Amino acid sequence: MSERDLLMIPGPVEFDPEVLRALGAKTASHVAPEFISTFGRALKRLREVCLAPSAQPFVVAGSGTLAMELAVANLVEPGERALVVNTGYFSDRMATLFERYGAEVVQVRCAPGEVPDVAEVERVLAGGRFKVMTATHVDTSTGVLAPVEALVKAAGRHGVLSVVDGVCATAGETFHQEAWGADVYLTASQKALGVPPGLALLTVSPRALDAWRSRRTPVRSLYADFGEWLPIMEAYEAGRAAYFATPAVNLVCALEVSLGQILREGMEARFARHRRVAHAFRAAWRALGLRMLPVSESVAAHTLSALYYPEGVDAALLGRVREQGVVLAGGLHPQLKARYFRVGHMNVVGPGEVLATVGAVERALAAAGHRAEPGAAVAAVQAELLAAR
Ligand SMILES: *Cc1c(COP(=O)(O)O)cnc(C)c1O
Per domain, the residue ranges of the chain are 6-10+267-387, 17-265
Superfamily designation of domain 6-10+267-387: Aspartate Aminotransferase, domain 1 (3.90.1150.10)
The CB of 187 under 6 Å from ligand 1? The reply is no
Quote the pTM value: 0.97
Q: Residue 141 C-alpha to ligand 1 middle, in angstroms?
A: 10
Which residue owns the Cα nearest ligand 1 atom 15? 168
- What is residue 24's predicted lDDT score, i.e. its pLDDT? 96
Q: Hey, which of 140, 164, 186 would you mutate to test ligand 1's pocket, going by the most ligand atoms within 8 Å of its Cβ?
A: 140
Model confidence at 220, in pLDDT bands (50, 70, 90)? Answer: very high
Ligand 1 centroid to residue 91 C-alpha, Å = 10
Predicted local confidence at residue 52, as pLDDT:
98
Distance 136 CA to ligand 1 centre (A): 10
- Residue 372's pLDDT is 84
Contact call for residues 172 and 303 (beta carbons, < 8 A): yes
Q: In which band, very low, low, confident or very high, does the pLDDT at 1 lie, cut at 50, 70 and 90?
A: confident
Mean pLDDT confidence for 223-250: 98
Evaluate: CB of 261 within 6 angstroms of ligand 1. no
Tell me if 195 CB under 6 Å of ligand 1.
Answer: no
- Say if ligand 1 is within 6 A of residue 188 CB: yes
Q: Say what the pLDDT of residue 128 is.
A: 86
- Ligand 1 centre from 188 Cα, in Å? 7
Cα–Cα distance measured from residue 7 to residue 17, given in angstroms and rounded to the nearest whole number: 14
64 in ligand 1 pocket by Cβ < 6 Å? Answer: yes
| Whether the predicted pLDDT of 3 surpasses 90 | no
* C-alpha to C-alpha distance for 375 and 359, rounded to whole angstroms: 8
Indicate if ligand 1 lies below 6 Å from the C-beta of 69: no
- Contact (Cβ atoms closer than 8 angstroms) between residue 200 and residue 66: yes
How many Å apart are CA 159 and CA 93, to the nearest integer?
Answer: 24
CATH classification (class only), 17-265? alpha beta
Ligand 1 pocket, 189 CB below 6 A? no
Q: Which of 266, 343, 267 is CA-nearest to residue 302? A: 343
Query: E strands, 235-325, where?
Result: 304-308
